[in-house]
Amino acid sequence: MHCDCFGRRPAETVVASFRQVGAQLFYAVAILLIPPRKGHTMLGISDPTVGGGNTGADTLDRPVEAEPEAVTTNGNGAAAEAGTRAPATGFEGTESITAPPLPIRPVPPIIVRKRLVRGRYRSASEGWLLTLRVDVDGHRPTRRISGDFFTVSGSTTAYFGSFAVHSPTVTTTATQVRVEGLGTFTWAAGAPKIRLTIARASLFEPPKPGTLEFLTTSNTAGASYYCPFESGFFRTVSYEQDSVAGAVPFLAYNTGSLPQPDGSPARVLSVPGAFAEAGIELLTTGGTNVIPVSDAGANAKWSDAELHAAMVNHFSAFTNAPRWQVWMLVATSHDGGYRGIMFDYGDAFQRQGAAVFHDAIGGTDAATQRSQLRTYVHELGHAFNLLHSWQKNLANPPAPLGPNGGLGDLSWMNYDWKYQQSASGPGGAAAYWAAFPFEFTENELAHLRHGFYRNVVMGANAFGTGAADVDPDLFDEPLVDNSGLALELRSPKPGFAYGEPVVVELKLAGTELRGRATHGYLHPNDDLVSIAVQQPSGRTVLYRPMLRHCVDEDRAVQVGVDKPALYESAYIGFGADGFLFEAPGTYRLRATYIAGDGSRVLSPVLRVRVRPPASRADEAAAELLLGDEQGQLLALLGSDASQLGKGVSAIDTLLDTFPDHPLAVYGRLVKGVNQQRDFKELTGDKTLRIREANGIEAASLLGQVAEASIADEDGVDNVTLNLAMRTQAKAEAKSGHPDQARDVLRQLVRTFENKNLNPLVLEGIRQQARETLDAIEGEIEE
């Protein structure tokens, strides 16, 4: 057959060409018609005929990812080698004048992408509910699987236990992924070996279910579970955020706005996005509730007591049970100047909330937005039971510390100013941001994704080790100490009465004439000082504050000739785990301080004696201070929270029944400090109520505290007396008595001049008195 003058091809050549084009159109249309899965971003799929790739959408936080697997086809859709041509033939019975056949372009391989085997699976069988997490593929896989079992009885579900396989054997073929290994369990498992098999699926198919099998050590089959795919995320948490008026919540930061380390992709990162990259879904509950603060007046600062009241009011509407739910309060400012705190209160409220303070972190420039992102993620990380980078050895179970005792961790959970790759290397905020990839560390990822249920879910196990036994070896003397610093714990009294609040004083001194640079955070609430307490029973526990202050700001000091020592006082009698000094007897205390270069400076052991009650009156008075609600009031120096009403009533009974008892001074201190301040209470329905200060009552109560403490050694310690008298002066000014306020401050200075204190300590007290007077004078002028 001849080609005619218009260039027509032989018929079979035309048919082959149509087949080729038809095959290409089929794959193109099929790709276009496959809808994305609901709630997920569909991956860009390469068109094999043009060699395209992903569409450019960020894949780091997508729960569905893919890897290529090539299949080669010919124009008929059958497998063939690349470059195969269809033969050109003539029609039967005609003279064949063979024209050179036009070449048929080979069809490039069709790239059939497979879903990654990764995410959360769920199995429901009679009596059991299983949540399974598979982490062997995708972005930063930890090469683990883990799961939680729940018992189901009627309409109730209860947690049973958790398991994990930390070092499995992973076998991947073209058709399936198999994971095998020996599990770690929270119970004595009869069949501890685990085998998981999941068929591989293309992107055109939904994810395949898995089959989880348990085997004995002799490979006898145990139970097996059919586990359909549930989510690309390992865990899902409900995330609620409220903000007070004037505090603008953070939205997102473009990580490419400022220089960042090589290999860290530039992306727009929100708080949920940061957790999504770790495989954790923060499911927002809607828009941020804005709480008006017009009634707060000039005092827009929040105290620990007000934040505690807001937290207990918020969670009072929920059942007392662990749940995947976290709350963030965006407030204006903290009266201590902190950037953020984590609520570490007991029962169901433990690790379920955090607060950040806009006045300390707010701003619109790139550096400030970057810091805001880190602060939000940092505080929420605590809610997942992630400790600061230098505290991981105090976790339960303990985790290994990173470089330089954890200070070298490039993590959301480190402070930028505290970053120190090595004791002699570069450190500080500039070095941190130059190297930080906006990620959690590997062991933090393993905890977030595979930590046992009660160690991660909000409202379950305590933050860190808590009241569980802490290894005393963690507080052993270092073999070598070249820190140039010395830490000392002191007791302000030779002994404490039964029920008396236990206060300790901390002193950090330099041991070198040339001085030593460090930071000035000495209070255990700031998480750079830890205090271990060995109780009379021999049990060693760690003091944990109710509210943890994240001191995300450098407070550099030089301890040397000009400033030979730093001092702090801390009430450690009650914390997140309740009272630590309930029983009479001798307690052994030891503290450790994390210095600016990462050195761990240990104090000598301090022995503290709690005396038994000498009379029935002593016992009755003490019992009125030893309730949990009273302990919270002592730690917060008072509160208006309605949930602490029984504690307030008990303190009132103490003052009414035993007004002359030495313990009554602590009741007056708590009530006096609380009455001196306006109290903001954020109710459960997001209404902000303001109770105005009662200066007259506060001045009277605190005046009695000062009188008892100056005249009798059974009063409060020196640091608390200083606080009480300065607060009394403020109360006098608020009640319209500025002259009395000045008199109180003059008496404060005279009182401590008569105590033969260190001249530098005395000068610090004078400076505090001057600052208090300046603040009072400023308010009078306004």
Residue 423's domain is classified under what CATH number? 3.40.390.10
Give the bridge partners for 283, in sequence order.
238
Query: Which pLDDT band, with edges at 50, 70 and 90, does 62 fall under?
Result: very low
Q: Residues 222, 151: one domain?
A: yes
Type and span of the H or E element at 353: strand 353-357
Across the range 605-621, mean pLDDT stands at 94
| Half-sphere exposure in the Cβ direction for 637 (13 Å, CA) | 18
Q: Is residue 461 part of a domain?
A: no
Q: 151-165, 356-370, 540-554 — which is least confidently predicted? A: 540-554
Q: Which domain holds residue 126?
A: 117-231
3-state secondary structure (DSSP) of residue 42: coil
Q: Is residue 325 part of a domain?
A: yes
Non-local (6+) Cβ contacts of 682 within 8 A are 291, 306, 309, 310, 313, 314, 329, 688
Non-local (6+) Cβ contacts of 745 within 8 A are 725, 726, 729, 769, 772, 773
609, pLDDT greater than 50: yes
Query: Which pLDDT band, with edges at 50, 70 and 90, does 759 fall under?
Result: confident
Q: Percent of the chain at pLDDT above 70? A: 81
Q: Is residue 430 part of a domain?
A: yes
How far apart CA 330 and CA 44 sit, in angstroms, is 37
Query: Which pLDDT band, with edges at 50, 70 and 90, does 348 fall under?
Result: low
Look at 48 and 191; give whichever has higher pLDDT. Answer: 191
Q: Residues 636, 595: one domain?
A: no
Q: Residues 608, 620: one domain?
A: no
Amino acid identity, position 365: D
Q: Residues 34, 148: one domain?
A: no
Q: 303-312, 366-375, 577-586 — which is least confidently predicted? A: 303-312
* Per-residue pLDDT at 740: 95
Vertex 307, ends 692 and 655: CA angle to 5°? 60
Q: Is residue 551 part of a domain?
A: yes
Non-local (6+) Cβ contacts of 408 within 8 A are 402, 419, 420, 421, 422, 598
720 neighbors 503 (Cβ within 8 angstroms) = yes
85-123 residue pLDDT tens = 333 333 333 344 455 666 777 777 766 688 999 999 999
| Half-sphere exposure in the Cβ direction for 497 (13 Å, CA) | 24
65, pLDDT greater than 60: no
Query: Which pLDDT band, with edges at 50, 70 and 90, does 368 fall under?
Result: very high
Across the range 116-135, mean pLDDT stands at 91
* Per-residue pLDDT at 346: 56
* Per-residue pLDDT at 696: 95
Q: Residues 340, 253: one domain?
A: yes
- Minimal CA–CA distance to 311: which of 567, 541, 644? 644
Vertex 674, ends 618 and 531: CA angle to 5°? 65
- Out of 80, 95, 112, a domain closes at 112
Give the helix, strand, coil percentages of the chain, each rounded to 5.
30, 25, 45
Look at 630 and 555; give whichever has higher pLDDT. Answer: 630
* Per-residue pLDDT at 399: 82
Query: Which pLDDT band, with edges at 50, 70 and 90, does 580 fall under?
Result: very high
Look at 147 and 38; give whichever has higher pLDDT. Answer: 147
Give the bridge partners for 652, in sequence order.
none
Query: Which pLDDT band, with edges at 50, 70 and 90, does 163 fall under?
Result: very high
Q: Residues 707, 572: one domain?
A: no
* Per-residue pLDDT at 512: 83
Q: Percent of the chain at pLDDT above 90? A: 50
Q: 73-82, 398-407, 509-518, 754-763 — which is least confidently predicted? A: 73-82
Vertex 466, ends 611 and 531: CA angle to 5°? 55
* Per-residue pLDDT at 285: 79
Residue 751 sits in a domain whose CATH number is: 1.25.40
Would you give the DSSP letter of residue 150?
E
548-569 residue pLDDT tens = 788 777 788 888 877 888 888 8
Q: 94-98, 300-304, 612-616, 721-725 — which is least confidently predicted? A: 94-98
Type and span of the H or E element at 66: strand 66-67
176, pLDDT greater than 50: yes
- Out of 196, 231, 266, a domain closes at 231
* Per-residue pLDDT at 18: 39
* Per-residue pLDDT at 395: 74
404-443 residue pLDDT tens = 989 999 999 999 999 998 877 788 999 999 999 999 999 9
3-state secondary structure (DSSP) of residue 478: coil
* Per-residue pLDDT at 560: 82
How far apart CA 161 and CA 226 sit, in angstroms, is 19
Quick one: 458 exposed, middle or buried, by C-beta within 10 A (0-12, 13-18, 19+)? buried
How far apart CA 156 and CA 68 sit, in angstroms, is 44
Please list, residue by residue across 420-442, b when 16 or more beta carbons sit within 10 angstroms of its beta carbon and e when fewer do.
Answer: bbebeeebebebbbebbebbbbe
Q: Is residue 752 part of a domain?
A: yes
Furthest CA-CA distance within the chain: 130
**Residue the block writes with tokens 């586990």:** 227
* Per-residue pLDDT at 481: 79
* Per-residue pLDDT at 21: 39
**Residue the block writes with tokens 């005619």:** 4
Query: Which pLDDT band, with edges at 50, 70 and 90, does 183 fall under?
Result: very high
Look at 466 and 129; give whichever has higher pLDDT. Answer: 129
Across the range 210-237, mean pLDDT stands at 94
* Per-residue pLDDT at 55: 34
Q: Residues 245, 216: one domain?
A: no
Q: Residues 385, 296: one domain?
A: yes
* Per-residue pLDDT at 781: 65
- Out of 213, 231, 249, a domain closes at 231
254, pLDDT greater than 60: yes
How far apart CA 734 and CA 699 sit, in angstroms, is 9
Residue 549 sits in a domain whose CATH number is: 2.60.40.3880
Look at 44 and 445; give whichever has higher pLDDT. Answer: 445
How many domains are contained in the chain? Answer: 5
Q: Residues 131, 106: one domain?
A: no
487, pLDDT greater than 50: yes
Q: Is residue 389 part of a domain?
A: yes
Q: Residues 638, 741: one domain?
A: yes
Query: Which pLDDT band, with edges at 50, 70 and 90, does 39 fall under?
Result: very low
Q: Residues 419, 451: one domain?
A: yes
Give 567-628 as a DSSP string. EEEEE-SEETTEES--SSEEEEEEEEEE-TTS-EEEPPPEEEEEPPPSSHHHHHHHHTT-SH
Q: Is residue 267 part of a domain?
A: yes
Q: Residues 623, 474: one domain?
A: no
**Average pLDDT over all residues of the chain:** 82
Query: Which pLDDT band, with edges at 50, 70 and 90, does 45 fall under?
Result: very low
35, pLDDT greater than 60: no
378 neighbors 275 (Cβ within 8 angstroms) = no
How far apart CA 760 and CA 747 sit, in angstroms, is 19
Q: Is 502 left (phi over 0), alpha (psi -120 to 50) or beta?
A: beta
Across the range 625-630, mean pLDDT stands at 93
Q: Is residue 367 part of a domain?
A: yes
Q: 154-168, 372-386, 443-457, 469-483 — which is least confidently predicted? A: 469-483
